[in-house]
Structure 1
Amino acid sequence: MNPAPNLFLIGPMGAGKTTIGKRVADQLQLPFHDLDHVIEAQTGVAIPLIFELEGEAGFRRRECAALAEYSALDGVVLATGGGAVLDAQNRARLAARGFVVYLETAVEVQLARLARDRKRPLLAAPDRRERLEQMAALRNPLYAGIADMTIRSEHEHAAQVAADLYQRLQLVWRRAPAPAAA
């Protein structure tokens, strides 16, 4: 068993982190948080507006602060944004404070799932495939580097992926209380 106080879901946009995370959180009877939704609630504006006003660097600063806050909780399921792993401090927090599940998804599947999505600033590119491939080349090794478990999230319905993930978690993860602060 790999004890950790939290369950963190990482992976690219369109992998199903929020949909699968909510279902697994229900099965585990733990509260669920989506880091992008947390940032929107804290700022009172949508992420595309944060990107427009503050750029990606401003958004990433907010993301780091929100991740520091929410990864410090005890007993939560947290879906990160796809780019949260770009920051080394974020990766360290995720690895130290939770059991990390990488929802792996092919670019083809992302393209299909995100075909109608016009709200993601990083997809506002002339060639979405090329943009997703560039992000995958940079991010996939980072996801794999901190993952305690990798699960493919592209072949089945989200409910089945969540059920499979829950079953696998029963074999390898147990929620442990957070270590006492020194």
Structure 2
Amino acid sequence: MMRRLKKTVCMVGMMGAGKTAIGSAVARTLGVPFVDSDAEIERAANATIAEIFTRYGEPFFRQKESQVLIRLLEGEPCILSTGGGAYLAEANRAAITSRGAAVWIKAAPQLLWSRVRHKDTRPLLRTADPKKTLYDLIAQREPLYALADLSVEAEPDMSVERMAEKTIDVIATRPDLLEMD
């Protein structure tokens, strides 16, 4: 069966949800480019996300994130993994929905914690109580992620490949996104 991606699909959700792993597997399966917006921001700034946060602060980072997101949405259709906070800005949500679609990779808090707790690359979790910080972020962000065009539930025992298949099945419910021959 031939499948053709017609618009960019943005993976949105919390840090640790699997946006990059699932997104890259979806892109491989569909034969389209995979782009990570955080990697694009780092390349443009010649600094890591953590360094940008430390040097310039979160508002500066969010501004750059929006600029990069718009540029990527104007390019050829791809699977685009966004940072956990990208979808929170109303302008970013509107841009994603008008040019493509957002797929929320929804994961349970305990699964997210198990995936991020040993990583020091998450600037928002550099707090006295990173688990509480993560759970607070989830509570703040989930109502906005719920506005995504589509959603897929992450399951702890599901392989990345199976999650990618499940995600493609959800994307395929939108003929304006994925053409099936």
Match of 1:24 among 23, 26, 45: 26
Shift of 1:159: 1.7
Amino acid at match of 1:154: E
1:13·1:81 contact (CA, 8 Å) conserved in 2?
A: yes
In 2, Cα distance between equivalents of 1:139 and 1:111: 15
- RMSD value, Cα: 1.8
1:4·1:97 contact (CA, 8 Å) conserved in 2?
A: no
In 2, Cα distance between equivalents of 1:10 and 1:85: 7
Aligned to 1:133: 135
Structure 2 gap ranges (5+): none
2:96·2:102 contact (CA, 8 Å) conserved in 1?
A: yes
Shift of 1:163: 1.6
Asked if 1:158 is matched to 2:146, the reply is: no
Give the 3-state SS of the residue equivalent to 1:74 in structure 2: coil
Cα distance change, pair 36–30 in 1 and its aligned pair in 2 (3 A): same
Q: What CA deviation, in whole Å up to 9, does each residue of 1:120-174 have, x standing for no partner? A: 10010111221112111211111111x2211111331222111221233334344
Shift of 1:119: 1.1
2:171·2:177 contact (CA, 8 Å) conserved in 1?
A: no
Where is the strand percentage greater, Structure 1 or Structure 2?
Answer: 2
Shift of 1:69: 0.7
Amino acid at match of 1:160: R
Structure 1 gap ranges (5+): 178-182
Aligned to 1:180: none
Q: What CA deviation, in whole Å up to 9, does each residue of 1:30-83 have, x standing for no partner? A: 111001000011111111110110011111111011111111223111011000
In 2, Cα distance between equivalents of 1:86 and 1:46: 21
**TM-score (structure 2 length as normaliser):** 0.90
In 2, Cα distance between equivalents of 1:169 and 1:92: 18
More displaced stretch, 4-13 vs 20-29? 4-13
Q: What CA deviation, in whole Å up to 9, does each residue of 1:77-135 have, x standing for no partner? A: 10110000221111111111112110001111111011210011001011122111211
**TM-score (structure 1 length as normaliser):** 0.89
2:9·2:102 contact (CA, 8 Å) conserved in 1?
A: yes
- Paired residues in the alignment total 174
Work out the percentage of aligned pairs sharing the same amino acid.
33
1:10·1:81 contact (CA, 8 Å) conserved in 2?
A: yes
